[in-house]
Amino acid sequence: MSDLSTTHPRYASLKIRDAITAGVEQGITSIHGLIAHGRGEAFDYLIGEKTRPFARAAMRAAAALLLRAQHPVISVNGNTAALVAAESVALGRLLQAPLEVNIFHASKERERAIRRHLEKHGATAVLMPSREAELNFIDSNRRFVHPEGIFRADVIFVPLEDGDRCTALRQMGKEVVTVDLNPMSRTAAHSSVAIVDNVVRALPQLIAQIRALQSASAKALEELIAGYHNDAVLQEALECIRGGK
Ligand code: PTJ
């Protein structure tokens, strides 16, 4: 860990860097994950490193979609595990949804390290990718999924996604909720709901939003989902980055 003073003006950002580099050192996060993180940091800087109204709107719709789901699943990769393991476990518990390890850069060792890390944070059942079920429309390692998890899911929460799987899941008729700081990514464009925010800020707020909507009627959830337009929300994020808002 860096010798960080809480008074450092970049303290929050540097703490997150420490978490992601620790993830690499522990064999949880891919070395490529550092590059992905750097890209995320650049976009975070451009949105002012705070949760914006467009992200809050997406979180409300995401909460409604996840609450309406019959079989929600939370997909966890190396960056998510390093940054928000405890929050991912809490989200799974709240939704009674399984966590499933699914990584882009293939490594059985890293899959097992992610599972152990989630278990250390309180996860009881972590689904692992298998050769028994494969997604269509995708060639990468991410096509291998658990038959009772992502394969069967109707709504999948996939923070820090690569665009290919998001598109494949949508082509298979599933709803996809993502967290991605880049509003121009294929992931953001192709998901049902894209939360343009740092996953570190987004997860606690999404959990709070789900709690707030837990007793909402089915009709109220439907209305929230129907009133959400991902393209328009991404446009707002782009305007914010261009300095418009
Ligand atoms: O563990 P693995 O093998 O599954 O690999 C995970 C990564 C993230 C390396 C892999 O999925 C990947 O290469 O992703 P991409 O295509 O680089 O996309 C990652 C996206 O996440 C980019 O659009 C980044 O801007 C965004 N991002 C990075 N850090 C954060 C983020 N979004 C939200 N919060 C972050 N902290």
pLDDT by residue for the chain (245 residues), tens only, comes to: 667 788 887 888 899 999 999 999 999 999 999 999 999 999 999 999 999 999 999 999 999 999 999 999 999 999 999 999 999 999 999 999 999 999 999 999 999 999 999 999 999 989 999 999 999 999 888 999 999 999 999 999 999 987 888 999 999 999 999 999 999 999 999 999 999 999 999 999 999 999 999 999 999 999 999 999 999 999 999 999 998 65
- What residues pair up with 145 in beta bridges, in sequence order? 133
CA of residue 160 to ligand 1 center, whole Å:
4
3 state DSSP class of 156: strand
CA of residue 180 to ligand 1 center, whole Å:
7
88, 150, 158: which is closest to 117 by C-alpha? 88
Pocket flag, ligand 1, residue 160 (CB < 6 Å): yes
* Residue 57 to residue 64: CA distance in whole angstroms: 11
Question: What's the token pair of residue 202?
Answer: 């987004």
pLDDT value for 1: 62
Can you state the angle between helices 199-213 and 53-68, rounded to 10 degrees?
A: 50
Pocket flag, ligand 1, residue 162 (CB < 6 Å): yes
CA of residue 45 to ligand 1 center, whole Å:
16
pLDDT value for 163: 82
User: What is the identity of the amino acid at 198?
Assistant: N
Can you state the angle between helices 78-95 and 32-46, rounded to 10 degrees?
A: 70
pLDDT value for 69: 98
> Structure pTM?
0.96
Locus of tokens 């789900």: 210
CA of residue 159 to ligand 1 center, whole Å:
8
pLDDT value for 20: 98
59, 49, 39, 46: which is closest to 230 by C-alpha? 59
Pocket test for ligand 1, best of 105, 160, 161 (most atoms within 8 A of CB): 160
Pocket test for ligand 1, best of 30, 39, 79, 83 (most atoms within 8 A of CB): 79
Ligand 1: atom nearest CA of 198 is 34
In 47-162, where does DSSP find H-type helix? 53-68, 78-95, 108-120
CA of residue 186 to ligand 1 center, whole Å:
12
pLDDT value for 13: 87
- What residues pair up with 193 in beta bridges, in sequence order? 177
Pocket flag, ligand 1, residue 158 (CB < 6 Å): no
CA of residue 211 to ligand 1 center, whole Å:
27
Pocket flag, ligand 1, residue 180 (CB < 6 Å): yes
CA of residue 36 to ligand 1 center, whole Å:
5
